[in-house]
C-alpha cells in the first residue's frame, strides 16, 4: 500500500525531524566549547590557579545559595539531564552545602525555602540577562557522615523545569558501572571559590583541567567505592573553599558527563599537586538518584 503525503504534510514531517535532531544534539553538549589548557599561556593561570572559563561553556554549572540566619553559603552544583525532554528541574550538589554550621546547637539542615539556584551565570556579581534564579521546592541528601565525608550528595528539585538554550543545558549522568575516566579524556572542574590560599574569591567562573587518579595517589582515608581524587601532576592547580558541589565533567565525542562533585580537600584551604581534591563519585549513587527523582515525581 502506498501512502501519498501532501507538500504541507512533508514540510511538517521535515520540520519535526529537524527539531528532533536539534533536541538530540543539545543535551550534554555545550553550545560554546570550553577552553583547552594548551591554548592558554600557563603563566596566565591563577578555582586555585585556574583560568577564567569561556562564557557559558559549562551550561550545566549552577550557583547554589543556602540562606541561613547569617551570611549565605555559596556552593556549586550541576543541572542534570534526566529525561528525554530538552529541559531539567533537577540540580545535583553536595550535602554539606545544605548544613548550617553556625548554629550554636550544632549542625542543622536547611529548608527548601532557604535555597536558591542560579543558572546561566558567568559573573556571580553581575548577572547577565540569560541568568535564571530558581526556587527549590524539595531536596534530598544521602546518608551524609560529616566526620568521614561519606555520601556527600544532595539532589534539589526546582520549582519548574528550565528549558535548554545556548546558556543553560543539562549534563549527562554516568551509569552505575561507569569507572572514573581515563587520562585520555579531557576533564574539567569549575567554580567560583577562592583563587588561591588567600581570601580573594572569584567573581567570574574559573576552570581547571585535571586528571582523575587511581587509588595510589589518593589518601588512605578515601573510600574509593564512593569517592575519587583528582588533580594535576604537572601544575600547581586545584580546588579551593567555595568550590564545593562544583562539577567534575569529562568530554567524549563532544558529550559531557558528570563523574564527580567537589567534596573536600585534606588539611588545606586549596588542593594542589601533592594533595589532590576528593570528589563524590556520581556513578556510585545512580540507584539513589533514580529512587529520589521518582519520589519527587510521586509527591507532585
> Which residue in 56, 81, 96, 122 is the catalytic one?
96
Q: Is the backbone of residue 223 left (phi > 0), alpha (psi -120 to 50) or beta? A: beta
Query: Can you tell me the distance from the alpha carbon of 257 to that of 84, in angstroms, rounded to the nearest whole number?
Result: 16
- Active site includes 58? no
> Which residue in 152, 243, 263, 283 is the catalytic one?
152
> Which residue in 78, 88, 244, 271 is the catalytic one?
244
- Active site includes 243? no
Query: Can you tell me the distance from the alpha carbon of 77 to that of 118, in angstroms, rounded to the nearest whole number?
Result: 9
Residues in the chain: 300
- Active site includes 40? no
Measured from the Cβ of residue 251, the count of other Cβ atoms closer than 10 Å reads: 19
Distances (CA, A) of 203 to 63, 101, 124, 135, 191: 12, 24, 5, 22, 10
Per residue, what are the HEC states of the chain?
CCCCCCHHHHHHHHHHHHHHHHHHHHCCCCCCCCCCHHHCCHHHCCCECCEECCCCCCCCEEEEEECCCCCCEEEEEEEECCCCCCEEEEEEECHHHHEECCCCCCCEECCHHHEEEEECCCECCCCCCCCEEEEEEEEEECCCECCCCECCCEEEEEEEEEECCCCCCCEECCCCCCCCCCCCCCEEEEECCECCCCCCECCECEEEEEEEECHHHCCCCCCCCCEEEEECCCCCCECCCCCCCCEEEEEECCEEEEEEEEEECCCCCCCCCCCCEEEEEHHHHHHHHHHHHHHHHHCC
- Catalytic residue numbers? 96, 152, 244
Amino acid at each position: 500500500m502506498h501512502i501519498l503525503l501532501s507538500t504541507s504534510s512533508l514540510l511538517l514531517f521535515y520540520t519535526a525531524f529537524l527539531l528532533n535532531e536539534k533536541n538530540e544534539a543539545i543535551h550534554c553538549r555545550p553550545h560554546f566549547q570550553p577552553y583547552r589548557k594548551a591554548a592558554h599561556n600557563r603563566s596566565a593561570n591563577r578555582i586555585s590557579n585556574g583560568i577564567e572559563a569561556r562564557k557559558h561553556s559549562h551550561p550545566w554549572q549552577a550557583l547554589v545559595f543556602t540562606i541561613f540566619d547569617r551570611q549565605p553559603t555559596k556552593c556549586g552544583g550541576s543541572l542534570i539531564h534526566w529525561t528525554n525532554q530538552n529541559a531539567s528541574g533537577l540540580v545535583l550538589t553536595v550535602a554539606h552545602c545544605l548544613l548550617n554550621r553556625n548554629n550554636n546547637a550544632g549542625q542543622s539542615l536547611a529548608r527548601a525555602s532557604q535555597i536558591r539556584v542560579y543558572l546561566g551565570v558567568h559573573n556571580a556579581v553581575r548577572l547577565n540577562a540569560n541568568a535564571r534564579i530558581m526556587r527549590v521546592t524539595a531536596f534530598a541528601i544521602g546518608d551524609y557522615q560529616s566526620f568521614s565525608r561519606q555520601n556527600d550528595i544532595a539532589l534539589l528539585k526546582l520549582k519548574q523545569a528550565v528549558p535548554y538554550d545556548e546558556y543553560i543545558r543539562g549534563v549527562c549522568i554516568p551509569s552505575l558501572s561507569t569507572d572514573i575516566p581515563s587520562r585520555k579524556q579531557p576533564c574539567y572542574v569549575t567554580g567560583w571559590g577562592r583563587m588561591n590560599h588567600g581570601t580573594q574569591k572569584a567573581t567570574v567562573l574559573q576552570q581547571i583541567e585535571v586528571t582523575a587518579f587511581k587509588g595510589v595517589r589518593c589518601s588512605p582515608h578515601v573510600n574509593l567505592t564512593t569517592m575519587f581524587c583528582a588533580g594535576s601532576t604537572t601544575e600547581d592547580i586545584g580546588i579551593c573553599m567555595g568550590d564545593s558541589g562544583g562539577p567534575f565533567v569529562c568530554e567524549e565525542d563532544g558529550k559531557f558527563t558528570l563523574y564527580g562533585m567537589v567534596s573536600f580537600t585534606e588539611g588545606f584551604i586549596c588542593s594542589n599537586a601533592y594533595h589532590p581534591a576528593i570528589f563524590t563519585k556520581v556513578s556510585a549513587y545512580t540507584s539513589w538518584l533514580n529512587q529520589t527523582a521518582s519520589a519527587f515525581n510521586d509527591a507532585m
